[in-house]
Structure 1
Amino acid sequence: MREFSVPERLGVFGLGVAVAATAWPYLTDTTGLRLPCPLRSLTGVPCPGCGLTTAAVALVRGDLAGAVAANPLIVGLAVLTAAVPPLLLLRASGVLPPPVGWSDRARRRTGWGAGLLAGASWLFQLHRLGLG
């Protein structure tokens, strides 16, 4: 069985997020169930992922401005989600080769990039919620 690349895994995760974001409003409206951010509930400080559920629901409903206002990271996830199915199809049909493992340097750089992105998201959330 072939390994999946990180972007492929994120894209498949995004498909799951889209399904959940479609069902979430119905679930919350009918049951009253809410899942607040544990960090924000305990400390009042948002996490870098705060607003992602709101952003995903807004994006599924076609409200791009609302999605970006809640958490701009959703745009990157949406792009990966849209790009991955054709990529997987092309790889499965043999048109594209399987992914190649990343070098240690590429993994380090990606880790730093993800950390910087999380930091920027956190600053955005602090500003959006008037805490920074």
Structure 2
Amino acid sequence: MLRAAAMAVAAVGVAWIHRAGDPGVLCPLRALTGIPCPLCGGTTVFIEFGSGRPAQAVLANPVALAGAIGIAVAPLGLGGRWWALQPKTRAWMLGAALVGSELWQLVRLGVLRV
């Protein structure tokens, strides 16, 4: 529970810092090429969540949000289920999540049109 509380405080802090002075694009790949990485939107997830806009957080990067929730609740016993999976299964799940996240970002930022 302490982990989740620390993450919530961090989200509010990041949202406040962002309001004080927008640093612009933080992703080096996106800054250099214009192409987002699968984790693009991760900071925006925390900014939107910390600003009290959970729906916007989901739209920014659902995979990053799910990962953050997973990290927050892992101490409650759910982390054991993850590590109980076969390494190959975990690798496929992570790979599928990253591919899905990349496609989401490409569409969200207008690189791909659907």
TM-score, normalized by length of structure 1? 0.65
Structure 2 residues not aligned, in runs of 5+: none
Structure 2 counterpart of 1:83: 73
Structure 1 counterpart of 2:91: 111
Structure 1 counterpart of 2:55: 65
Identity of aligned residues (%): 37
Alignment check: 8 A CA contact 1:56 1:74 kept: no
Q: Deviations over 1:29-79 (max 9, x none)?
A: 44x362611000011100001111111221233322111111112442354
Cα drift, residue 22 of structure 1: 1.4
Counting only pairs closer than 5 Å after superposition, residues 1-132 of structure 1 correspond to structure 2 as 12=3, 17-30=7-20, 32=21, 34=23, 36-81=26-71, 83-84=73-74, 87=76, 99=80, 102=83, 106-132=86-112
| Letter paired with 1:126 | L
Instruction: Tell which has more relative contact order, 1 or 2 (C-alpha 8 A, sep 6+).
Output: 1
Cα distance between partner residues in 2 of 1:126 and 1:57: 20
The two structures, once aligned, show a CA RMSD in angstroms of 3.1
Number of residue pairs the alignment of both structures matches: 108
TM-score, normalized by length of structure 2? 0.73
Structure 1 residues not aligned, in runs of 5+: 1-11, 89-98
